[in-house]
């Protein structure tokens, strides 16, 4: 291979720029030409390419967002969209692509490679939700977790001063990773996640017990994907349990997707970016880079699926002990 491309697809996360930098620097170090595909698959379909040099990625390792922009593309889900993408790849003489994306992007590319087998892809997992199988951790999760934790710490200050109850809703469309991590790290009284029902069954008990033993504030962290309907619906329930209390709601939302990446995310992004280009040079293709037990590993795209947070009895026992 002589010329590769790099792109970011799906929801952005902190650490994308650090990853793009690693891909570009490794490619150039190995005498490869490299272009950026802008605006994700939408940009690929439109032929939106930009040449990249070592200098193009200077001073970006610390920046949130993605210098290449991103999109969630409906068009790439269609045969027509994928044909247009293939034509643009051939016209630009691109030999291989590094795709920094999530499980949706990898499913899209898996459909593409069934139709056009001559373009090798290497995937790099990123999502603040951390719910991609084949890796213990995805780029962006650590920073999002810290953002959520810092926000909850601040809400705790005001909740304590005014002796209030707060529900804090964090992101996680189908996944409780952020809620679980940020809730644990901030000492939340209760954590509600899509992976278990035991948390909601215990909520009234936890709140009443906390108040009876004169806690000055109660914080409930709710994953947006929690089946009880997120913070607003859960607040209705809490008001029934504690009718005389102030019950505040704070939705953290997209604040969790931005900001300067943590050291852990920069390091992970750099390792994944470097490894993706080396994998291409070694002739590997159509696999996602991951990290398991601190060892880099690869998973074929067709095996990449959603990963679910494992909440077993010993985790529930721990949460019970720490929240009581
Ligand atoms: O998948 C990452 C994520 O941030 C989810 O937690 C959230 O539900 C979703 O993306 C929001 O997507 P969008 O930015 O397109 O609204």
pLDDT digits (tens, 9 = 90+) for 222-280: 999 998 889 999 999 999 999 999 999 999 999 999 999 999 999 999 999 999 999 99
Q: How far apart are CA 159 and CA 161, in angstroms?
A: 6
pLDDT, residue 210, reads 92
pLDDT, residue 198, reads 79
pLDDT, residue 257, reads 98
**Complex ipTM > 0.90:** yes
pLDDT, residue 254, reads 98
User: What is the whole-number distance in angstroms between the Cα of residue 173 and the centre of ligand 1?
Assistant: 7
pLDDT, residue 29, reads 98
CA 121, 124, 130, 132 dihedral sign is: positive
pLDDT, residue 323, reads 78
Beta pairing class for 3-8 and 33-37: parallel
Is residue 48 annotated as part of the catalytic site, yes or no? no
pLDDT, residue 108, reads 95
Residue positions forming the annotated binding site for substrate: 127-129, 164, 171-173, 224, 254-257
pLDDT, residue 316, reads 87
Q: Whose CA is nearest to atom 13 of ligand 1?
A: 11
Q: Whose CA is nearest to atom 14 of ligand 1?
A: 11
Which portions of the chain are predicted below pLDDT 70?
none
Give 168's strand partners.
221, 250
pLDDT, residue 320, reads 84
pLDDT, residue 311, reads 87
Instruction: Report CA 318 to chain centroid distance, whole Å.
Output: 25
173 in contact with ligand 1, CB cutoff 6 A? yes
pLDDT, residue 229, reads 86
Q: Whose CA is nearest to atom 10 of ligand 1?
A: 11
Q: Which ranges of the chain does DSSP label H, i.e. alpha helix?
A: 16-29, 40-46, 79-91, 103-115, 141-162, 177-185, 198-201, 203-212, 230-241, 263-281, 313-323
Active-site annotation holder among 12, 48, 118, 129: 129
User: What is the whole-number distance in angstroms between the Cα of residue 144 and the centre of ligand 1?
Assistant: 12
Q: Give the residue carrying structure tokens 């698959």.
A: 41
């Amino acid at each position: 291979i002589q010329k590769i491309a790099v792109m970011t697809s799906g929801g952005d996360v902190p650490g994308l720029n650090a990853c793009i930098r690693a891909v570009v620097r490794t490619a150039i170090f190995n005498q490869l030409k490299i272009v950026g595909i802008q605006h994700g698959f939408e940009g690929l379909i439109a032929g939106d390419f930009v040449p990249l040099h070592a200098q193009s990625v200077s001073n970006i390792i610390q920046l949130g967002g993605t210098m290449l922009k991103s999109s969630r593309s409906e068009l790439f889900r269609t045969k027509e969209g994928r044909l247009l993408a293939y034509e643009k790849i051939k016209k630009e003489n691109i030999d291989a692509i590094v795709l920094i994306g999530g499980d949706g992007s990898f499913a899209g590319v898996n459909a593409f490679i069934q139709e056009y087998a001559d373009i090798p892809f290497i995937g790099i997992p990123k999502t603040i939700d951390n719910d991609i199988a084949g890796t213990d951790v995805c780029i962006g999760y650590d920073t999002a977790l810290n953002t959520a934790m810092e926000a909850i710490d601040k809400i705790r200050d005001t909740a304590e001063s005014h002796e209030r109850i707060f529900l804090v809703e964090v992101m996680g469309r189908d996944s409780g990773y952020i809620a679980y991590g940020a809730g644990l790290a901030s000492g939340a009284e209760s954590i509600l996640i899509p992976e278990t029902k035991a948390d909601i069954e215990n909520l009234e008990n936890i709140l009443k017990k906390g108040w009876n033993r004169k806690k000055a504030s109660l914080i409930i962290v709710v994953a947006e994907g929690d089946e009880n309907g997120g913070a607003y619906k859960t607040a209705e329930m809490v008001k029934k349990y504690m009718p005389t209390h102030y019950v505040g709601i704070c939705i953290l939302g997209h604040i969790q997707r931005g900001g300067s990446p943590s050291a852990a995310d920069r390091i992970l992004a750099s390792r994944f970016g470097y490894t993706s280009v080396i994998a291409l040079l070694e002739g590997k293709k159509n696999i996602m880079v991951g990290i398991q037990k601190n060892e880099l590993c690869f998973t074929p795209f067709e095996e990449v699926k959603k990963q679910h947070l494992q909440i077993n009895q010993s985790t529930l026992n721990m949460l019970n002990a720490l929240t009581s």
